[in-house]
Amino acid sequence: MLKNPVIPVFAFLLGLFAIWFAIESRQGDFVGSMVPELIGFCLEGIFFIGIFTWLQERKDRERKSEIKQSLAGAMGFACQVINSCLDEKNQIQLPGNDNWTRQARMNGRHLKDLLGRLTSRPLDVSEEQIQAIQQLLLTRISTLDSLLSVSAQLSHAHLSAYNMILTEIHKISKHHYYDSSELKASFTNLLRLLVSFNNEAI
């Protein structure tokens, strides 16, 4: 969807010139009139600015897709571990053709369901599971850090949301004294931030 405010302005001027000419002109007035040039100017403005806006929005979608892909790679395994640490009756069973990486990338229904269960259900995570999550996040941190500048090219809202996600990931990956309640609070916050970032409009 094109959001450049200049396009409606050109469209309004085009309609205004066309109506004005239709009302005020007499036979033969079209020859030597400035109205055709003004109409042509408006059409060119709509075309070129429309093309530029479409290309920019496509580039922004590609940038956000790159960020979402990297976040999903980091979050997918962590979601799988966290889900397995819920009581068995509260664990989410994904369909055979689905996985947590895809859920994290697509803001899937099961990801939001996991967020809801984390908020309201107990979580029992072993030291080994915490270390596994931390080790995975540590391997992804340099890539995720490098994408901060990419998020800045999208919008201030994207930059702010992504920066908060990075802060939480750094906190989880480098905290050496986590217990289940601390990890639950941090991971719940991280999931909220991820869902919010994925929902942020381009």
Report if residue 36 sits inside a domain.
no
Q: Does residue 75 belong to any structural domain of this protein? A: yes
Residue 67 lies in a domain: yes
Domain that holds residue 133: 61-199
Residue 32: inside a domain: no
Q: How many domains does the chain have?
A: 1
More confident residue, 178 or 59: 59
pLDDT band at 34 (very low <50, low <70, confident <90, very high): low
Question: Over the stretch 138-184, which tens digit does the pLDDT of each residue have?
Answer: 999 999 999 999 999 998 999 999 999 999 999 888 877 667 778 88
Residue-level pLDDT at 125 = 83
Q: What is the mean pLDDT of the chain?
A: 82
pLDDT at 23 exceeding the cut of 90: no
pLDDT in the model for residue 92? 94
Lowest model confidence (mean pLDDT) among 3-17, 24-38, 99-113, 127-141: 24-38
Q: For residue 150, what pLDDT is reported?
A: 92
Q: Which residues of 89-107 are buried (b: 16+ CB within 10 A; e: fewer)?
A: eeebeeeeeebbbebbbeb
User: What average pLDDT does the segment 80-94 reach?
Assistant: 90
**What is the structure's pLDDT at 22?**
61
Query: For 66-94, what is the HEC assignment?
Result: HHHHHHHHHHHHHHHHHHHCCCHHHCCCC
Name the pLDDT band for 126 (thresholds 50, 70, 90): confident
Q: How confident is the model at residue 124 (pLDDT cuts 50, 70, 90)?
A: confident
Residue 147 lies in a domain: yes
- Count other C-beta atoms under 10 Å from residue 77's C-beta: 19
